[in-house]
Chain A
Amino acid sequence: MGLTEQQIERYSRHIILEQVGGSGQERLLSSKVLIIGAGGLGAPVGLYLATAGVGTIGIVDFDKVDLTNLQRQIIHHTSDVGVEKVKSAENKMRAINPDITVRTYQTRVDAENISNIIRQYDFVIDGTDNFPAKFLINDACYFNRVPFSHAGILRFDGQLITVLPGETTCYRCIFNAPPPANAVPSCSQAGVLGVLAGVIGSLQATEAIKYLLGIGDLLTNTLLTYDALEMNFRAVKLNRNPNCSLCGENPQITELKDEEQVVCDLKSCKC
């Protein structure tokens, strides 16, 4: 398709990279990435993928912008409070880069709708904040063979892993099933340093771009953990789990289903 003069200028710092070049930039422009969750993690991912010129970016979220989101969800501004998150995110991404197409899904993913959405994309970003969604994304990406980046953040810690379903360690290989109710606090209960979302989300965006370009080594079979207080990153090697209930030798999960939403209330939370 060829790059326009303006595109050559806009993406010049990419094009000058040996591993990207004009052909790599064209590849990004013809790629499709889906971001599930327009929150803390989804915000930097959306902004960086838009600036990078990823041609089609889908964004899924059912929620509206709340004042408490603004401490870390850098894609939303004060004037967006009350606006649908997908709309707010779309506006910023299109303002940064009119080259790209943004598709919005004002919905919550579930076992019914997720496959039809993710099948249209080359790579999926899990930027959700709850375990049923994280397991659903893992399972749906496995059944549809769509690669994805998992991440989570809490307090001063973050973690991420890239999954090539059927080939590399999946989320269920590590965590077999969602934790019981009241076992794990959410960010709204335990707090999170806002910038954690930027650190970990930016790493997710890096993985998406590397996958699309086919360059470097992906963060597969490795859980990267980040401790902001100790300023320490650790890459924990994790082999595929032969007992994995999804991608192991005798899988018990053979179709998509919604996990029960566990709600942690502070009174009974033991953490």
Chain B
Amino acid sequence: MNLVINGKEKNIADSLTVSQLLVQENVKMPDMVSVELNGQILRRTEFEETILKDDDKVEFLYFMGGGCGIN
């Protein structure tokens, strides 16, 4: 199936869950990522149970700290 991951089209094996996609895309710390699927932010508990479909649009949104005032 074809997915759009962070704006880039990608061909991925069928019936993958969001959790499996995180692993496949080498996201080492899923704790530091929010996932938006077709415009909706998923609950963390939904990562395991959500199966991706053809043409789904997935965004990985990373936690980013730094104004870098304190060192």
Contacts and interface: CB of A to CB of B under 8 A. Distances in A.
A186 interface: yes
Instruction: Categorize the interface residue count of chain A.
Output: 35 or more
B40 interface: yes
Contacts of B71: 66, 68-69, 187-188
Given A176-B44, A179-B63, A73 B68 contact: yes
A22 interface: no
B36 A238 contact: yes
Given A234-B7, A237-B39, A41 B67 contact: yes
Given A63-B70, A69-B71, A270-B28, A183 B63 contact: yes
Contact of B66 (A63, A153, A174): A153
A134 to B, nearest CB: 7
A243 B69 contact: no
Q: Considering residues B36, B39, B66, which has the most beta carbons from chain A within 10 angstroms of its beta carbon?
A: B66
A40 B68 contact: yes
Q: Is the interface of B mostly helix, strand, loop or mixed?
A: loop
A37 B31 CA distance: 26
A153 B61 CA distance: 13
Contacts of B31: 179-180, 183
Contacts of A223: 61
Interface in A66-114: 66, 68-69, 72-73, 85
A79 B18 CA distance: 51
Nearest to B64: A152
Nearest to B44: A176
Interface string B31-52: 1101010011101100000000
A159 B66 contact: no
Given A127-B69, A129-B65, A187-B68, 9 more contacts: A37-B67, A153-B66, A174-B61, A179-B31, A183-B32, A188-B70, A201-B67, A238-B39, A243-B43
